[in-house]
Structure 1
């Protein structure tokens, strides 16, 4: 952990053993930055500062949502900033703060191993660089906390800016009809939407926390002014995320409308093809009816001719004088009757 004494526009690095004396002194403010809450950090938080066991436990464990706890002589605050991960995942980078009378303790909560080592320290690192360059001059722990939280909000804004680039690219792909695989494109849309929703939630909860802190009477008037300003910053951050999310929702709705129209056109084309197939099938059935009808008409004479063409010695009517004309008449009548029947049924 890093122990620093901030006074007279200077930042002095001190040892952990000097902490009790520094806390009892009146010269400047003490800033203790803990990259991880290990056993040594727990011991310092519990024994040197005497923080509540529940607050120390929350520094060791991961907190899913921001929170604030007000104690008699200090305020405990948990905040998050976003970090982009693989496949649209958003890492919640936790920053815990103990804001006391003459000290500020910043504890970096547990993070996913996939997060780069320097990411959790970016807010405190940015403020430390400004302190060392003389660009910020905090006189109280609340002013130092204000600088760190403002840096956290700037990183939230940078995240929204980065996601906005993706939103514009997605919109150009939709309007330019360069979507590619629809399923993968929808996944990209909702991954970006998830990122905006995550940072929007962080900002909204941060606004709620600092809105509650603005009602704490133990914070000085100057500290109250800083708390109100941070509340406004979180509110602005939430509005930015909401605006981009609504813009992206318009892109999603436009794409969904495009898919609906394409599906309707495909359905119409399929209906037209089905209609053509139905008409072709109907025409084919009509032709089959005609063929079947004529086959039946010609079958009757063929049947008579086939029967009387058999060469059996003992067949009736073979020796009739009028046998041949009678056979012809029978053939013609049978064919005529079948023709009339099929004609009436509409087969011919």
Structure 2
């Protein structure tokens, strides 16, 4: 486990870098003190020790220790447990990587457990430290730190959306060019969009739940506005993802149609050549029967006429199929 951030606020004004977690827990006993802690990949024992010191609910701690949680918001008494999914678009591989971040929001603490963050280990601490430079937010306490975390993650979705949009535009161009591997790429993009929807869509429900509890839990008007701003951004992200999903579904339909059309064209070509070869094969088969009473076998011009007939019938059929655009 690495402690990426360990800051104590006295009267929610002056941030102090605490030398250790034990010192932080002791300082929390002082009136007016609150803490902001970011842990990177703690094991079950390490997380359990922190949970005991902060009084976290065992079910929330169990979910955090196991990981692989869906985005959600759960309330355990006066403590919130929030699961978020940061994302990063990899330009070189043209893939979307997802992480997992857990946040425990109490009255006097804000604990973040980073299970995985493709954006880099210091992304979450930097987002929280930037908030320290805004006195109006610092005085709000842990709720403002939750906003800073969610705002950072939702803002990080924008370049991912732009990367996916560029990939989809390329797919639309490749669909009609006959390039190999387009079908597989469409399916891969469709899977990434679905995964992204699973990460982003629950944010709308999470923020709406925070709004519903704003009055009960004394969320300041300014913070309500800021959460609404994050909600607006999340809605726009989800709407664009819905559009991408529809575009990719259409691309899959078009790709299937083009594949069926190509198969039909191939069938026409095979059938056409089979018909062309049938005419000379029929004439040759008749002459090859060698019956005793076959007047054609005694004709002087029988052989050249049969050759001419084969070529003529084949040529006529070829022209007919060419006119019908079977070739």
What residue in structure 2 maps to residue 263 of structure 1?
Answer: 263
Secondary structure of residue in 1 paired with 2:28: helix
Distance (Å, rounded) in 2 between the aligned partners of 1:298 and 1:226: 99
The 3 A distance-change label for structure 1 pair 173 and 11 is farther
The 8 Å contact of residues 6 and 17 in structure 2, kept in 1 or not, is answered as yes
The 3 A distance-change label for structure 1 pair 297 and 45 is closer
Secondary structure of residue in 2 paired with 1:240: helix
Establish whether residue 33 from structure 1 lines up as the match of residue 32 from structure 2: no
Distance (Å, rounded) in 1 between the aligned partners of 2:166 and 2:9: 39
Establish whether residue 4 from structure 1 lines up as the match of residue 7 from structure 2: yes
Gap runs ≥5 in structure 1:
300-348
What residue in structure 2 maps to residue 272 of structure 1?
Answer: 272
Distance (Å, rounded) in 1 between the aligned partners of 2:159 and 2:296: 89
Alignment of 1:1-348 (within 5 A): 1=3, 2-6=5-9, 11-15=15-19, 16-27=21-32, 29-38=34-43, 39-46=45-52, 48-83=53-88, 91-109=97-115, 111=116, 119-128=120-129, 130-131=130-131, 137-140=137-140, 141-175=142-176, 177=177, 179=179, 181=180, 184-216=181-213, 218-222=216-220, 223-288=223-288, 291-294=290-293
The 3 A distance-change label for structure 1 pair 210 and 127 is same
Matched length: 287
Secondary structure of residue in 2 paired with 1:119: coil
Shift of 1:103: 2.1
Distance (Å, rounded) in 2 between the aligned partners of 1:201 and 1:252: 21
Q: What TM-score comes out, normalization by structure 1 length? A: 0.71
Distance (Å, rounded) in 2 between the aligned partners of 1:136 and 1:158: 29
The 8 Å contact of residues 56 and 79 in structure 2, kept in 1 or not, is answered as no
* Aligned-pair Cα RMSD in Å: 3.2
The 3 A distance-change label for structure 1 pair 135 and 246 is farther
Q: What TM-score comes out, normalization by structure 2 length? A: 0.75
Shift of 1:145: 0.8
**Higher gyration radius (CA):** 1
The 3 A distance-change label for structure 1 pair 272 and 209 is same
Distance (Å, rounded) in 2 between the aligned partners of 1:220 and 1:228: 16
The 3 A distance-change label for structure 1 pair 229 and 106 is same
Question: What do residues 128-177 of structure 1 show as CA deviations (whole Å, max 9, x unaligned)?
Answer: 2x2466598433211121111011111222222222222222222224x1
Distance (Å, rounded) in 1 between the aligned partners of 2:230 and 2:162: 20
Distance (Å, rounded) in 2 between the aligned partners of 1:202 and 1:42: 27
The 3 A distance-change label for structure 1 pair 230 and 173 is same
